[in-house]
Structure 1
């Protein structure tokens, strides 16, 4: 018997579920709702938002193709702990909780890798809170470009995020994020458009990130 295969786990989920499209702004999961199923993101970008106070809803993470969402609630029997909101158009496979093949070793491997990745991102977010806002923005843009950026003639492009999304993801004010994006544009390190952020060279942000002044 070979090593566990998470890709086969994804194929099992596709066979057990149903595919559906989503558009930007669609709420795919609602905090407090019963955990009735698991989502496998096939394309597009979504954000996980934690319910906050006074409209302050922090973005806990961004998820793209191949990622699992909602499985913890299904396995624990607890209600949803966060909102999942679409940032772009895309498609998900929805697997009902009763049909979720969590006992399969390849699905289990997919679960394990998903949990490890989320924990690593959570640890990274915790470390980032001790950095200045410009560093947090630069680190986040660089990571997003590497994880789900789209190559274009202007560079690696991250699509679907507003400045408010970025501010919530890095725990900073929209005004401070706007100032950082302006500095990156002025330095030729970033091109922006409506819900688009293109990095001509993501590695060039390493110098920005390492600057003590930032």
Structure 2
């Protein structure tokens, strides 16, 4: 995340100027096409980013949690937002205004260099992910997704099967079959709206196939 690449004093200065905002489960935080007047920092809870279809269904492309940020690229490019963002359960976020961000960043050239390095790394990871989507089984792709969400640790991730299907670009039935394969292999344990990583090492190996 670009937020993590910023020096702590800069982050503290930005947070001080951005009061917290509270959203309820399913509440729209930002809408595709809006002017990027700032970027969001998640303080509590989780946020799904994606796009609503013409039929009103939400198709997630990412699930973010506390400490994550999103919308910086729209601010830096000066272009309208390209995703919708919806709270997953109660969420507390801060809107870092574009004007404040640019003013604070202008006084710290080192922070700008760090952010450029992080943006380059994100682009490399995106290209690698796109390449991975073109190869491997659905189970391997699901394993890669879960490894990414869990940080490679043996912990429980809050995500639904429908969200996994959306993120992988497959049907819910296909995603369910892939998760069942991972669970049968002892790599994960499914719960209601959650997935527990039980064997992170083997899950990581499978994700590389």
Give the TM-score normalised by the residue count of structure 2. 0.80
The 5-angstrom pairing of residues 103-142 of structure 1 reads 103-105=106-108, 108=112, 111-112=115-116, 114-130=118-134, 131-142=136-147
In 1: Cα distance, 2:6 partner to 2:39 partner: 19
Indicate the SS of the match to 2:40.
Answer: strand
What is aligned with 1:28? 29
Offset of residue 56 of structure 1: 7.6
| Structure 1 residue 199, shift from structure 2 partner | 0.8
Alignment pair present for 1:72 and 2:73? yes
Q: Tell me the secondary structure at the aligned position of residue 92 of structure 1.
A: strand
User: Does residue 191 in structure 1 map to residue 189 in structure 2?
Assistant: yes
Asked if the contact 2:6/2:115 (under 8 Å) is kept, the reply is no
Find out whether 1:99 has 2:135 as its counterpart.
no
Structure 1 unpaired stretches of 5+? 150-154
Task: Return the match for 1:179 from 152, 177, 180.
Answer: 177
In 1, the alpha carbon distance for the partners of 2:145 and 2:76 equals 30
Partners of 1:141 and 1:203 in 2: CA distance: 12
How much has 1:117 moved relative to structure 2? 4.8
Distance 1:58 1:108, change over 3 A: farther
Of 168, 180, 204, the residue aligned with 1:170 is 168
Are positions 1:201 and 2:184 aligned together? no
8 A Cα contact 2:187 2:203, kept in partner: yes
Per-residue CA deviations over 1:48-106 (Å, capped at 9, x if unaligned) read: 21455666865333333333322233333322111122234332211223322332426
Aligned residues: 201
TM-score, normalised relative to structure 1? 0.79
User: Where in structure 2 are there 5+ consecutive unaligned residues?
Assistant: none
CA distance in 1 between counterparts of 2:113 and 2:24 reads 30
- Which residue in 1 is equivalent to 2:156? 157
Task: Give the secondary structure class of the aligned counterpart of 2:41.
Answer: strand
Which whole-Å deviations, capped at 9, do the CAs of 1:161-211 have from their partners, x for residues lacking one? 111111111122211110011122222221121211101121121343466
1:47 equivalent in alignment to 2:48: yes
Say if 2:23 and 2:91, in contact at 8 Å, map to a contact too.
Answer: yes
| Cα RMSD for the two superposed structures | 2.7
CA contact (8 A) 1:33 1:79 kept: yes
Of stretches 172-181 and 123-132 in structure 1, the one that deviates more from structure 2 is: 123-132
